[in-house]
Chain A
């Protein structure tokens, strides 16, 4: 499911552009193909155009250029109510003047479903989100998490094949959010629906999705599985946006297959994995995850002298800020193994990392 051939895609954005004011492009050349049954997450910083993409798909905004197809049909000219796309809004948008059951019955009613059939479907949908007894309440009488479930049930009750969710868990506390993440994921697997999910919480994106599209500045920076995104970021933005990341600037001195040899600004040398197309003599940005750094390495591939500047206790691990190659912001995560000798501020030691964990990206 990771790579879907373009002509088999369930939803596809084809060279889509969007501008609100005719001056700036909010979405720049978006190409995205989503397979049937896929859980795709759009992840990106605020203002990167995620909601805009979702709104174009739902039919509330029109693409300035390009084509969006749903199940092979272009939808640019289909009004929103005929697209049959379920949608969960960030603020839930439950109709405040209707009871929970009426909210759920609404999409069935406008589709002309009979009363008995409707009631049965509503009851099923309420059971699905474990809210069976709440049908008679008003949305205002529910907690945030309960409202969220109702919004979810409402988007699913008319059995759409595609469901869009725009930061549906944004307003919930951490614990509830994790619980709901699990429930949404579970429903997705059980119903076999296609989900396009928007969030700017990276851990949410990583835990739930089949694929994640990282947005920035109106472009998809990388579209990959969560694992690939974390392990193999393709550019500096993704490397920094997903997880924590140490940056070291260096100059490429030689390229040997997929290994590049670099020279740091302080004159020392090292090796890294070639990711970006950098030529000899160009500057490159090396990215190393804090948890991939080893203290006092035994084999000295990228062994380097470091000085401990600050220790921050985090319970299960200790964050250690070090000076490495003249960079004062180098973070190392030291697991709290108990037996390990305690580090001290000002202590000098050797640290190292494997060549494949040090990725040479565009500077």
Chain B
């Protein structure tokens, strides 16, 4: 036994001390604190970066999907001063329950508010906000606000004189909804629902439903693309895993080659191949398989989206599967064979189950990428090959309804999280190997 008391001293209380008489505990804590601080300083830049570029924007997006103050607050562009707007009308909404017929007082409040809007040059902003819920309202607001100063009591008649549409209960219902900046109406809109003037939540007309179908289509196409990637990628990954290192490295370059070309180039090359005047159709016509007037439409529809996205996402399926397959020693298959299993049984019972972590990781990766894919469907999808992300982009760029875009994106996010959770329950996250 080596004598340890030289290093640590024990005082009367039984407390361990270091050689220079410090209590051992505090000395240890100090040493660990130093290490922790160093580690924290090292990761701080990344943490900050992730926080600023990832957590904050997502939080912003989630906030925007339930908050829109277009009807309640005006921010001056020149000096940033915030002015509450539509105050009178909001008071009237507070005093009268939903479904109340707008009376003279309501119209008076409206005219007062419109006068303020005119001063602030803000009728467009409020009109746009109401337009999200009730189309055609923007011009109504700008038009009426322009004449607001000249309107006199009785205000109801005067306003209705300007435009009959002010009498529509849907318009008043929309204004009531918008009078609270915190609202779930964007989520309702994102699942094709709306609030009736009586306050009931109902589905919108069958022919105006877009989002639910688009969500379903997005999920279905993503699942299909994932399935295709799996079917095409599995044999390739297997081949890569069993070939000698040199050959497989060469093949791996072919798998990775698409990563070295721009996404746009790859997508456009599919356009060149598949469009009705494209290479594939030309060859088939030349070979007499189809007639010149029977050219197959493979671009600007779902087929185009499926083909191009499968091709683009294939490497994301192959790589995780390959990395898992590579680690499966051939001795398992040999053992199974020596135990009397045919090659098919060996594959089914021994090889395949061990590749599941790779398949799961690849499928997860491809599916999540596909669900949020934007550029390829936008280019080759035509009208029925569009995915939900294309509509989100539309609301971001064209209709400028950011709250709806945020609600759609949030739904997508929740959907993926739910799938992730389901996956964890069914397969187990620790069963997934990403590399």
Residues of chain A touching chain B, judged by Cβ–Cβ distance below 8 Å, are 58-60, 79-87, 89-91, 93-97, 106-107, 110-111, 154-155, 158, 164
Contact = CB atoms under 8 A, between A and B. Distances in A.
B36 interface: no
Nearest to A85: B338
B354 to A, nearest CB: 6
A106 to B, nearest CB: 6
B25 interface: no
A97 B428 CA distance: 14
Q: Which of B340, B342, B350 has the most CB of A within 10 A?
A: B340
Contacts of B30: none
19 contacts: A59-B337, A60-B334, A80-B337, A80-B338, A81-B338, A81-B339, A81-B343, A83-B338, A86-B338, A87-B339, A90-B331, A93-B332, A95-B350, A97-B353, A97-B354, A106-B349, A107-B340, A158-B339, A158-B340
Interface string B335-373: 111111111010001100110000000000000000000
A91 B338 contact: no
A110 B338 contact: no
Contacts of B343: 81
Q: Which of B338, B341, B349, B354 has the most CB of A within 10 A?
A: B338
B329 interface: yes
B226 to A, nearest CB: 23
A94 B338 CA distance: 13
Binding site of B, secondary structure by majority: helix, strand, loop or mixed? helix
A91 B349 CA distance: 20
Contact of A96 (B337, B338, B345, B354): B354
Contact of A106 (B341, B353, B354): B341
Binding site of A, secondary structure by majority: helix, strand, loop or mixed? loop
Contacts of A110: 339-342, 345
B337 A81 contact: yes
Given A96-B354, A110-B345, A154 B339 contact: yes
A74 B296 CA distance: 58
A95 B338 contact: no
B338 A58 contact: yes
Interface residues of B, number: 18
Given A80-B334, A95-B350, 8 more contacts: A58-B338, A60-B334, A83-B338, A84-B340, A93-B329, A94-B335, A107-B339, A110-B342
Contacts of A59: 337-338
Contacts of B336: 95, 106
A91 B331 contact: yes
A108 to B, nearest CB: 9
A97 B332 CA distance: 11
A283 to B, nearest CB: 45
Contacts of B342: 81, 110
A106 B333 CA distance: 13
A82 B349 CA distance: 18
B354 A81 contact: no
A106 B331 contact: no
A85 B339 CA distance: 7
A107 B341 CA distance: 7
Contacts of B339: 81, 86-87, 106-107, 110, 154-155, 158
Given A81-B340, A106-B349, A107-B339, A89 B334 contact: yes
Nearest to A80: B337
Given A96-B354, A110-B345, A89 B340 contact: no
Contacts of B349: 106
5 smallest A-B Cβ distances: which pairs?
Answer: A107-B339, A93-B335, A87-B338, A93-B331, A80-B337
B9 to A, nearest CB: 39
B334 A111 contact: no
B60 to A, nearest CB: 44
Nearest to B339: A107
Contacts of A91: 329, 331
Contacts of B350: 95
A82 B339 CA distance: 9
B337 A89 contact: no
Contacts of A94: 335
Nearest to B328: A96
Nearest to B334: A60
A90 B354 CA distance: 20
Contacts of A58: 334, 338
A154 B353 CA distance: 20
A90 B329 CA distance: 12
A85 B353 CA distance: 25
Nearest to B354: A97
Contacts of A87: 334-335, 338-339
A85 B338 CA distance: 6
Contacts of A82: 340
Contacts of A107: 339-341
A60 B349 CA distance: 19
A91 B339 CA distance: 16
B340 A111 contact: yes
A82 B341 CA distance: 9
B339 to A, nearest CB: 4
B348 to A, nearest CB: 11
A84 B350 CA distance: 19
Contact of A95 (B332, B340, B345): B332
A80 B340 CA distance: 7
Contacts of B354: 96-97
A93 B333 CA distance: 9
Contacts of A154: 339
B341 A89 contact: no
B345 to A, nearest CB: 6
Nearest to B357: A97
A263 B266 CA distance: 84
A96 B354 CA distance: 8
Contacts of A89: 331, 334-335
A280 B407 CA distance: 102
A60 B337 contact: yes
A190 B343 CA distance: 33
A213 to B, nearest CB: 21
A59 B339 CA distance: 12
A166 B63 CA distance: 64
Q: Which of B335, B349, B350 has the most CB of A within 10 A?
A: B335
